[in-house]
Amino acid sequence: MISSSYNLFHSTTGTSTTTLSAILLISLCFFVPSNATETDLLALLSFKSLIGNDPSGALSSWNASLHHCRWPGVICGRRHPDRVTGLALDSFQLAGQISPSLGNLTFLQNLSLSSNHLSGNIPEELGQLSRLRYLNLSTNYIHGSIPSALGNNCSNLEYLKLRNNFLSRSIPPEIGNLQQLQTLSLSVNDLTGTIPPTLGNLTNILFLNLYSNRFTGSIPDILGQLKSLRHFQINDNQISGTVPRSFYNLSNLITLDLSINYFQGFLPPYICDAFQTLETLIIYQNQFTGHIPSSLSNCTTLSTIDVSFNNFTGTIPSTIGSLQQLNFLQVGHNQLEAKTSSDWSFIHALTNCTNLQILEAENNQLQGVIPSSLGNITSLRTLVLSGNPISGSIPAEFEMLTNLISLQLGQTLLSGKIPREIGNLWNLQGLRLSNNMLSGEIPSSFSNLTKMNKLALNNNAFEGHISPSLGNMQSLALLDISNNKLIGEIPREIMNILSLTIVLSLSQNHLNGSIPSEIGKLNNIAQIDLSYNDLSGQVPSTIDGCQLLQILHLEGNSLHGPIPSSLSNLKGLQELDLSSNSFSGKIPSFLSAMKLKRLNISFNDFQGELPKEGVFKNVTAVDVRGNTKLCGGLPDNHLPKCISDSPSQKHHSEYIKIILVCIGGGILCLSIIICIVAGCYWRRRSQNDPHGIMAMTEYKRVSYDDLVRATNNFSVENLIGSGSFGMVYKASMSLGSAEIVAVKVLNLDQHGAFRSFLSECEALKNVRHRNLVKILSVCSSIDHRGNDFKALIFEFMPNGSLETWLHPIARDNRPPKFLTLLQRMNVAIDIAKALDYLHDHKPVPIIHCDLKPSNVLLDDDMTARVGDFGLAQFLVRSDTVSAPSITSTSGIKGSIGYIPPEYGMGGQASTQGDVHSYGILLLEMFTGISPINERFGDGLSLHKHVETAFPARVTDIIDAKLFSSDQENKKTLEIENSRECLVSVIRCGLLCSKESAKERISMNDVVKELNSARNKLLK
């Protein structure tokens, strides 16, 4: 037996353990075990031999100096004192593999090795442990499959915990043989396949945890027989179908977590008939529809309800207020509505829930005024109502919510002033009121909020000065009050908030004065944005105190002087924007040595030679336009060559001056002649205007006064949309056959707006297609204040943008409308035809560069028209190289979520980039999910989300509204042809949105594919 032990060591550990093996053999000569325990001893020594790292020394005393029953972690029995009944070595950071010899510990009842660094497979030999009752290998690096032998032989097993590993393949059906099992925890692995129906045989099961795997299929109906089940967690998988009716018979259930799956259907009214003990109901991020059952009030023990990220409709039932134990209520990201004061009655009912801490109802269709009774739910710690069309003002009664930690009311229609009483919520740590219509001054009482961590008041109409008292908020990590009407200087006290680590954004206000030198005290901040104000002076040299700064935006001000050398000390700076200021001097060489990923110094007064190293190697990452005195750089910078001032060339300067004087007079005369000829030529050939403005003279001239009258002085009532570079108004004026038009007014203060205006004129002046928005005229004039005014006049599209149809929550105070399957097909084909026309346009193909739902408009007969060519680019063939080149006045290449991956890596715009954006748009149209949905992140995208379900579960991922919007549509989807159509459409979307541009199909092929798919539907 000792000899066999040596062979075991030698065969399993190799030469690295020869010395250890020899020592153990010498030890065994002095400690000879009995035959009854020799196998246990050798099994333990084998386990030790496969542990490659024991940082805590837990196994250091495992030697012959102690009886093995006294070794740390080893437990021996009472009736058989020399036999090992337990091995518990949790949380010792042991690294290595589990020895198969543990299968020889025939008396073992408890094996617990959790929270270590063990790897390899689970040995099949563990299936020999017929007495085993507790097996815990959780939180390791174990991979491979679950041994079926565990289910065949370990009939006494009560606890099987294998969670948080790297196990793969499916659950062996044999696990269903473990009828004594009370806990089965397989969560956080990479298990696949369906849930075996044999689990329905686990009649004593209490805890069934299968979350965070890749299970597919549906829940077996037989699991409804597990009467003892108390906790069932299957969240974060790919389970689909409906919840079996038998499941509602689990009368002992305490926790039901089905979140992050693809469940469909309704929550039945009888859901709580049996769930008398249910405390936690979590079903968020699924595809449930219908109303939230009012019968949830029968689950009297409920403390947590999370039904967010579904497609629930109707009102929030007020009966929920009878749940005395309710602690968390999360119903956000649905289509729940409140149109009348009675629909808000659930708020008054919740005042009875004295334990309620979290109320989240964001991104629904709750309208009207927030009930003042909300202030009576004094136990609230988190209140989130963002993304609803709520109007009115913030109730002053909120001052009673003294336990509130987080208040989120962003992206609503709130107006009026912030009640000063909000300053009494001294526990408040997060306040988000961004994207509203709030006005007045920021209350000075905010200085009382000393625990505030994040304050976001951006995109409102706040005015007045920034109160220096905000400097009292010494816990702030984020302060965003951008895009308001604030005036005055930046208080130095703001720069003394040393806790600012995330962002300080004061951009797009009317702040003046200089940047306080105290800015250098923000030594832990990651982003500073002071852009688009009226700041003057120089950048303080103290800015190098911001040692962790990654992003610095100072564009759109009146700053001057050189780039301070102190910027070179910001080793982590990745993005620097100094554009549209009055900076001067030479571009410092230290910028080449910094790790910048983006540098914008355009429209300043820099001079001298442009560096060629560092960030300047990447032409797409650097913008130097508008600096007429720059020279040199890389050829792609298109700057003039620098004239050397070296002594060897100075003797040529006088000669050059004489030549220049001689030819100067000739050039002047020739220029006058050319101007006269060109003027006559341009009047005759206005269609050749490079900016497209003169080409519009064939239309009726439109003046600034005409537009003022037609839009009622650009009133809010006529505002129908806004974009990156301006506002769109509905106007009553006669242009050709049109009586109602859309006027796009450019905000010329916005950087890039004028270039967008030129690009759009250039792109639209010669294109004619039924699926492109038709431009009727332009207005290039001066407003009543003497400022430049640019506007484009288009056909009015009465059905708005595709965005408002796909995501009707954006339709303020209007009943939601949905596109049927056939309508979506027609729109998809219309867009494809428009892109095909642009990509094949003669003589120069056009790349749209910003295709997304908000840039697709629908006319009165629901024909789609592609618009907004503000970022359009032209594909031109070079005379010297065969590859196409891009001409454009804009370096921007699209919107987040639709930008192809190659653009993010500095790639040139291409027709295949448009194809990618179209593919994402197509998937969005038929799934109803935006590519920037919060569910996407950590490697998951809309493309991958769809790809995982294609083609077998294609109907599971399409927009649930196609099933629920109207009876005619339901009937259509019941036909097999509709599934064939959807498979073709989704396949087309996946092909278009492939990561590699070379693998994408052309728009011409897309048109053919979608026409074929529509024909299948119409059969």
Provide the CATH number for the domain around residue 930.
1.10.510.10
More confident residue, 868 or 39: 39
pLDDT of residue 885: 44
More confident residue, 643 or 69: 69
For range 103-122, the mean pLDDT: 94
Which two structure tokens, joined as six digits, stand for 761? 């004129």
Query: Above 80 in pLDDT, residue 28?
Result: no
Query: Above 60 in pLDDT, residue 146?
Result: yes
pLDDT category at 675 given cuts 50, 70, 90 is: low
The DSSP call for residue 255 is E
92-96, 121-125, 319-323, 733-737: least confident range: 733-737
Indicate if 855 and 993 belong to the same structural domain.
yes
Phi, psi (degrees; rounded to nearest 5) at 218: -125, 175
467 close to 492: Cβ distance less than 8 angstroms:
no
**Percent of the chain scored above 70 by pLDDT?**
84
Indicate if 321 and 277 belong to the same structural domain.
yes
Domain end (from 750, 766, 795): 795
Count structural domains, the chain.
Answer: 4
More confident residue, 767 or 366: 366
Domain end (from 144, 174, 198): 144
Q: 375 in a domain, yes or no?
A: yes
pLDDT category at 31 given cuts 50, 70, 90 is: very low
pLDDT of residue 72: 94
Q: 373 in a domain, yes or no?
A: yes
pLDDT of residue 10: 36
Query: Above 90 in pLDDT, residue 683?
Result: no
**Percent of the chain scored above 90 by pLDDT?**
56
pLDDT digits (tens, 9 = 90+) for 175-191: 999 999 999 999 989 99
Is 416 in a helix, a strand, or coil? strand
Please state the separation of Cα 139 from the chain's center in Å. 29
pLDDT of residue 663: 65
For range 117-144, the mean pLDDT: 94
Q: 937 in a domain, yes or no?
A: yes
For range 373-377, the mean pLDDT: 95
Whole-angstrom distance, CA of residue 661 vs CA of residue 657: 6
pLDDT of residue 714: 83
Whole-angstrom distance, CA of residue 316 vs CA of residue 782: 52
Q: 70 in a domain, yes or no?
A: yes
Indicate if 749 and 833 belong to the same structural domain.
no
Whole-angstrom distance, CA of residue 82 vs CA of residue 192: 42
Query: Above 80 in pLDDT, residue 907?
Result: no
For range 927-931, the mean pLDDT: 90
pLDDT category at 644 given cuts 50, 70, 90 is: low
pLDDT category at 36 given cuts 50, 70, 90 is: low
Which two structure tokens, joined as six digits, stand for 530? 């002071």
Whole-angstrom distance, CA of residue 1018 vs CA of residue 433: 48
pLDDT digits (tens, 9 = 90+) for 331-357: 999 999 999 999 999 999 999 999 999
Domain end (from 437, 465, 499): 437
Phi, psi (degrees; rounded to nearest 5) at 782: -125, 135
pLDDT digits (tens, 9 = 90+) for 702-725: 888 888 888 888 887 788 877 667
| CA contacts within 13 A on the Cβ side of 543 | 25
Q: 740 in a domain, yes or no?
A: yes
pLDDT category at 752 given cuts 50, 70, 90 is: low
More confident residue, 885 or 659: 659
492 contact partners, CB below 8 Å, separation of at least 6: 468, 516, 518
pLDDT category at 764 given cuts 50, 70, 90 is: low
Phi, psi (degrees; rounded to nearest 5) at 463: -135, 180
More confident residue, 759 or 852: 852
Whole-angstrom distance, CA of residue 533 vs CA of residue 556: 7
pLDDT category at 812 given cuts 50, 70, 90 is: very low
Nearest to 867 by CA among 1007, 981, 720: 720
pLDDT category at 646 given cuts 50, 70, 90 is: very low
CATH number for the domain harbouring residue 784:
3.30.200.20
pLDDT of residue 409: 96
Among the listed residues 529, 706, 850, 959, the single catalytic one is: 850
Whole-angstrom distance, CA of residue 386 vs CA of residue 232: 31
Query: Above 70 in pLDDT, residue 809?
Result: no
pLDDT category at 700 given cuts 50, 70, 90 is: low
Query: Above 50 in pLDDT, residue 682?
Result: no
Indicate if 305 and 364 belong to the same structural domain.
yes
More confident residue, 500 or 7: 500
Any idea of the CA torsion for 749, 750, 756, 758, to the nearest 10 degrees?
10
pLDDT category at 893 given cuts 50, 70, 90 is: low
| CA contacts within 13 A on the Cβ side of 561 | 11
Please state the separation of Cα 726 from the chain's center in Å. 25
Indicate if 781 and 840 belong to the same structural domain.
no
For range 835-846, the mean pLDDT: 83
Phi, psi (degrees; rounded to nearest 5) at 718: -95, 0
Query: Above 50 in pLDDT, residue 748?
Result: yes
Q: 136 in a domain, yes or no?
A: yes
Indicate if 1014 and 868 belong to the same structural domain.
yes
CATH number for the domain harbouring residue 88:
3.80.10.10
Indicate if 868 and 995 belong to the same structural domain.
yes
pLDDT digits (tens, 9 = 90+) for 403-458: 999 999 999 999 999 999 999 999 999 999 999 999 999 998 998 999 999 999 99
Q: 167 in a domain, yes or no?
A: no
Query: Above 70 in pLDDT, residue 685?
Result: no
299-313, 492-506, 859-873, 910-924: least confident range: 859-873
Whole-angstrom distance, CA of residue 413 vs CA of residue 176: 55
pLDDT digits (tens, 9 = 90+) for 813-833: 455 577 888 899 999 999 999
Nearest to 692 by CA among 794, 792, 787: 792
For range 81-106, the mean pLDDT: 94
Indicate if 1008 and 977 belong to the same structural domain.
yes
226 close to 251: Cβ distance less than 8 angstroms:
no
Indicate if 856 and 976 belong to the same structural domain.
yes
pLDDT of residue 794: 86
pLDDT of residue 332: 94
Indicate if 713 and 811 belong to the same structural domain.
no
pLDDT of residue 686: 40
More confident residue, 154 or 936: 154
pLDDT of residue 943: 92
Which two structure tokens, joined as six digits, stand for 670? 């020739």
621 close to 611: Cβ distance less than 8 angstroms:
no
pLDDT of residue 979: 80
Q: What's the per-residue H, E or C state across 346-359? A: HHHHHCCCCCCCEE
pLDDT category at 1014 given cuts 50, 70, 90 is: confident
Over its C-alpha atoms, the chain yields an Rg (Å, rounded) of 35
The DSSP call for residue 770 is T
Indicate if 789 and 835 belong to the same structural domain.
no
**pTM of the predicted model as reported, rounded to 2 decimal places:** 0.61
850 is catalytic: yes
Indicate if 338 and 417 belong to the same structural domain.
yes
pLDDT of residue 715: 81
Query: Above 70 in pLDDT, residue 965?
Result: no
For range 631-649, the mean pLDDT: 75
Q: Whole domain around residue 427: which residue ranges?
A: 266-437
pLDDT of residue 896: 82
For range 562-580, the mean pLDDT: 93
Q: 411 in a domain, yes or no?
A: yes
pLDDT of residue 728: 86
pLDDT digits (tens, 9 = 90+) for 221-235: 999 899 999 999 999
pLDDT of residue 762: 67
120-124, 294-298, 564-568, 870-874: least confident range: 870-874
